[in-house]
């Protein structure tokens, strides 16, 4: 979850954790459905609330 910060792509996360893109994407899909993350074409830093 700490990598869902606006600076990492799904591919970055998969490579850093040495897991498949598909595995990361499945988690991202769950987070998207719960409105906990959103996707952006351009990476941007977010600040914690």
Q: 1-49 pLDDT, tens per residue?
A: 667 677 788 899 999 999 999 999 999 999 999 998 888 877 667 666 5
Cβ–Cβ < 8 Å for 6, 46? yes
**What would the two tokens of residue 4 be?**
């869902």
Counted residue by residue, the chain has a size of 49
Q: Say what the pLDDT of residue 46 is.
A: 66
Quote the distance between the C-alpha of residue 22 and its chain's center: 12
Residue 32 host element (H or E): helix 21-33
Q: Say what the pLDDT of residue 25 is.
A: 95
Rg over alpha carbons for the chain, rounded to the nearest Å, is 11
pTM score of the predicted model: 0.72
């Amino acid at each position: 979850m700490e990598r869902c910060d606006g600076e990492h792509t799904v591919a970055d996360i998969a490579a850093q954790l040495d897991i498949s893109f598909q595995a990361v994407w499945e988690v991202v899909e769950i987070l998207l459905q719960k409105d906990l993350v959103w996707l952006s074409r351009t990476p941007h830093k977010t600040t914690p609330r």
